[in-house]
Amino acid sequence: MTEKHYDVIIIGGGISGTALFYTLAKYSNIKSVALLEKYDALATLSSSGQGNSQTIHTGDIETNYTIDKAKQVKRTANMIRRYCLQHGYENKFMFAHQKMAVGIGDAEVEYMKKRYEEFKELFPYLEVYDKEKLKEIEPKLVFDENGKERPENIIGVGVLDQYSTVNYGAMAQSLADNAQKEKNKQLDIFFNSEVVNIKQLGKEHVLMTKNGDVFTADFVVVNAGGHALYLAHQMGYGKEFGCLPVAGSYYVTKGHFLKGKVYMVQNAKLPFAALHGDPDVLLDMVTRFGPTALVLPVLERFHGLKSFPEFVKTLNFDGKVLKIFKDLFVDADIRKYIFKNFLYEIPYINKRVFLKDMRKLVPCLRLEDIEYAKGFGGVRPQVLNKAERKLMLGEASINPGTGIIFNMTPSPGATSCLGNAERDAKLICEHLKADLNHKAFLADLVD
């Protein structure tokens, strides 16, 4: 059994946990930081290359983002690019592609034109691609399997060359490796160290792991997806929140269908992003379509019902949660969406239902061109705000001011990892009366 004390302990070795580990190691004078990971490697869940869409979400083509949200994610997206370029990771695990959002049909085309006018000042590189230009740069958006041009009006808004694709699992490993290169500090990573209990003892927090090891820390940050809320509830914090785990699955093509990322217009009624196509960095850049959105009673994907008890506790079910569900299900579009995403997971039926939807985007797509991507996809912990009785679309953080923070980071959590690390590092250093070299952080990572 180990009994170790650290200035800061970070729970969770995904992209968010490793980003904070790196930020504290490189830009603060804090002397000892530990990272506790429940599995035997970093970034095995939602941060893995299989677990997310591998996208640097900038806000330029995500049509479910407001202009204010786009301003926020643009800053953190640029941090991802700056970090990777600073360390020479371009074309290793960060890649440049064209990317665009497309409007299909007259109503969506008009929407995209208006959105372009609203967003072009924030993103001056955006271009508008009419049908003739799309024939040149993304022809499979225009022609069907017989080479016939689609009858609907179509328009794309995007950019032809920008770093937009990242293997976040590889990036998480790089953040941890680069953090441990810092000298004269104790920077430790403990694997197979699942934290099952946290207690406050005076100004310290005591952490007990499943294997019986004990750690103490002056400050704790929990970056563990839905389990962050589970641990918060154990300590009596965040009772105003519940967690609705939404699993995303993918389908991959048997060839290169799209040259870059192509997003569709978001249905404003639906709480999750519309299906889109991305080049997959793990599969030789073949197109990967998704994600689907299926509510599952677990906090982790591909681990059976192991996390079902934690799901029950983090759902925090009561009349207020029931009211949120009722408000979601009362809308016919949302009910249809939920049912369709259930069908996406049923063998034999799934490909046929999915194909019908994706042919709106890629009319030449055939049944034999796609297959269910086994082992791909993760769980996004969508947060239920019981006080406001609504589903929150974005990160949630619980900070009781006692030297512990609990972060839940649904999409675009990976893109926001360094921005969230910047925020938390400020809070940690203020609490511990330590120094953060924010000027150096900004010089390295912010335009």
Q: What is the pLDDT of residues 212-261, one digit of tens each?
A: 999 999 999 999 989 999 999 999 999 999 998 888 899 999 989 999 99
- pLDDT for 2: 58
The DSSP bridge pattern shows strands 214-223 and 204-209 to be antiparallel
Q: Which of 171, 170, 138, 141 is nearest to 153 (CA)?
A: 141
Kindly indicate the confidence band of residue 362, based on its pLDDT and cuts at 50, 70 and 90.
very high
> What is the pTM assigned to this prediction?
0.95
The average pLDDT across 130-152 equals: 96
- pLDDT for 170: 97
CB 346, CB 354: distance < 8 Å? no
The average pLDDT across 416-437 equals: 97
The average pLDDT across 377-402 equals: 87
- pLDDT for 271: 63
- pLDDT for 394: 67
- pLDDT for 320: 93
288 CA to centre of own chain: 16
- Give me the amino acid identity at 277: G
Q: Which of 386, 234, 389 is nearest to 309 (CA)?
A: 234
Most distant CA pair in the chain: distance in Å? 72
CA distance 221 to 410: 17
Mean pLDDT, the chain, as a whole number? Answer: 94
Indicate if the pLDDT at residue 1 is higher than 70: no
3-state secondary structure of 312: helix
Q: Residue with structure tokens 């953040």?
A: 175
Length of the chain in terms of residues written? 447
Kindly indicate the confidence band of residue 409, based on its pLDDT and cuts at 50, 70 and 90.
confident
Q: Name the least confident of 24-38, 81-95, 105-119, 395-409.
A: 395-409
CB 135, CB 150: distance < 8 Å? no
- Say what percent of the chain tops pLDDT 90: 80
pLDDT tens digit string along 304-358? 899 999 999 999 999 999 998 898 888 888 888 889 889 998 988 999 999 999 9
The average pLDDT across 171-181 equals: 98
CB atoms within 10 A of CB 420: 24
Residue 202 makes CB contacts below 8 A (sequence gap 6+) with none
- pLDDT for 390: 86
Burial 326-343 (b: 16+ CB within 10 A, else e): eebeeeeebeebeeebbe
Kindly indicate the confidence band of residue 382, based on its pLDDT and cuts at 50, 70 and 90.
confident
CB 209, CB 198: distance < 8 Å? no
